[in-house]
Amino acid sequence: MKTLLLLAVLVGTASAQKIVYTKVFPGSTPAYVKITITQAGALTYQEAADESEPDTVQLDTATTSAIFDLAVKLDHFKTKIESGLKVAKTGDKTYRWEEGSSATEAKYNHTNDENARLLQDWFEHITESQRLRADLERTYKYDRLGVNEMVERLDAAWQKQRIVAPGQFITILDRIAKNESLLNMARDRAADLSDAFKALTKAQ
């Protein structure tokens, strides 16, 4: 009984730990991003502070661990990471650590901290992945002639290792692969990507 209670406490503690990333950059696309990740790997992505139905994705264990390990190296954002250098504006970014009712955060425009940069890379890749999925689904629905170009964009991002949670693309890629009204090159590329994502998801 005590063991079960301890496990419940540990699970509850982990689920209460969150990393929240926000980026505000008026004039850019998107101008606002908020990404929330729990230690259980549940990710929420939104492009408006009041978004009623944000994207939700489940991250694999390795990705979640890599992101949370960087937060640990950054002391849960308790210390300053802004470089203070006079550089071009790249958006007001905030890393926030939430654990129960307590929270710590660090804000910056530019940083020289390597761990902070690596963490930003993760969030930039997440942003690119979520926008690619939304664009691919929108194109499939409204612009069938543009589907091949969108699949090429996804393939290029995948080759550059910029796709996070590739399993989220499988459903739409399978639809494209099975749709005989689309160009054969789009269908073939979609099928190849789907197979690659399925194999990776299965291995995780």
Tokens 């730990």 found at: 17
Q: At a CB cut-off of 8 Å and minimum separation 6, what does 22 contact?
A: 32, 33, 34, 35, 93, 94, 96
- What pLDDT is stored for residue 18 in this prediction? 98
The answer to whether residue 6 sits within a structural domain is: no
Do 110 and 137 form a contact (C-beta atoms < 8 A)? no
The answer to whether residue 181 sits within a structural domain is: yes
Convert the pLDDT of each residue in 60-87 to its tens digit.
999 999 999 999 999 999 999 999 999 9
Convert the pLDDT of each residue in 7-51 to its tens digit.
444 445 555 899 999 999 999 999 999 999 999 999 999 999 998
The answer to whether residue 1 sits within a structural domain is: no
The answer to whether residue 4 sits within a structural domain is: no
Residue 203's pLDDT band (cuts 50, 70, 90): confident
Nearest to 154 by CA among 177, 131, 120, 174: 131
The answer to whether residue 3 sits within a structural domain is: no
Q: At a CB cut-off of 8 Å and minimum separation 6, what does 28 contact?
A: 91
In terms of average pLDDT, the best of 10-14, 137-141, 198-202 is: 137-141
As to burial, measured by CB atoms within 10 angstroms (0-12 exposed, 13-18 middle, 19+ buried), residue 40 is middle
Q: How far is CA 138 from the centre of its chain?
A: 19
Neighbours of 68 (CB within 10 A): 21
The answer to whether residue 109 sits within a structural domain is: yes
The answer to whether residue 188 sits within a structural domain is: yes
180 lies in which domain range? 12-203
Total domains in the fold of the chain: 1
The answer to whether residue 7 sits within a structural domain is: no
Structure tokens at 107: 């804000």
| pTM exceeds 0.85 for this model | yes
The pLDDT mean for the chain works out to: 93
